Amino acid sequence: MIRRATEPQLTDLGPVVQLRAGRLPRRLTQLYAGLVLYGVSLALMVRSDLGLAPWDVLHSGFIRHVPITLGQAVILFSFLVLLLWFPLREVPGIGTVSNALVVGLAADATLALLDRPDAVGLRIGLLVAGVLLNGLATALYIGAQLGRGPRDGLMTGLARTTGRSLRLVRTALEVTVVVIGLLLGGALGVGTVLYALAIGPLTQWMLPSWLVRVDPSVVDRRA
């Protein structure tokens, strides 16, 4: 398929160039809306009690052994993953640091307001809503073009340095964190499988609608 020249494209800009790329109020609003909704989607899946996304299997297992909340675990692991960016020569942006903080805070706030329903039908509804909302949230924060999240940057950095495909690296990372999470007692279930199968297609479908066009004059610059 031939891409029309007028269609916005996903770019890989440095942290300073990201801020000079135009439409900053729109992009910041979209970024933070996406990150908040991402945290809400995480909480919906937790309250469904039907399984979590791969990284959240790890987070849920970890908090069984230390006195912190799930959201705090998300923040902690986000910054631990960011430490791995340095040898991979990945450069964080405002969206990267914001991702590390906002998602965990939003997840904890939602968990404080939402209880686990008893009815199976309601729990299934929470699971499906969580996965759908996660796809939208991912499209929003990626489409803002203000930097990858910590886990996304780890994936792309490993793919670049090892020469392996993004699909292979992502699969290897997610299998690894799920196994570690299970060993720690994390929550694995049908929701984990649903998330793994659905999140890629959902994000790919929604991203074009939320991909913000940046100033073409800065696309080829690096900060």
Q: Mean pLDDT in each 10-residue stretch from start to end of the chain (223 residues)?
A: 56 74 87 96 96 93 95 95 87 88 96 94 96 94 86 84 83 90 90 89 88 69 47
- Alpha-carbon dihedral of residues 177, 180, 184, 185, nearest 10 degrees? 60
pLDDT value, residue 3: 46
**Cα 165 to Cα 145: distance, rounded to the nearest angstrom:** 22
**Residue 194 · residue 129 · CB < 8 Å:** no
Copy the structure tokens of residue 98: 């914001």
DSSP secondary structure string, 80-103? HHHHTHHHHT----HHHHHHHHHH
The token duo for 179 is 């196994």
Q: Which pLDDT score, from 0 to 100, does residue 47 have? A: 96
Three-state SS at 212: coil
Q: What is the DSSP letter of 66?
A: S
How many other C-beta atoms can be found within 10 angstroms of the C-beta atom of residue 26?
12
* pLDDT on residue 1: 41
Place of tokens 């800065």: 218
Contact (Cβ atoms closer than 8 angstroms) between residue 148 and residue 29: no
Rounded to whole angstroms, the Cα distance separating 175 from 183 reads: 12
How far, in Å, CA of 71 to CA of 68, rounded? 8
Token code pair at residue 128: 């499906």
**Phi/psi at 107 (5° precision):** -65, -45
pLDDT of residue 223: 44
CB atoms within 10 A of CB 201: 10
CA distance linking residue 53 with residue 195, whole number of Å: 6
From the CA atom positions of the chain, what is the Rg in Å?
Answer: 17
Nearest to 35 by CA among 148, 110, 109, 137: 137
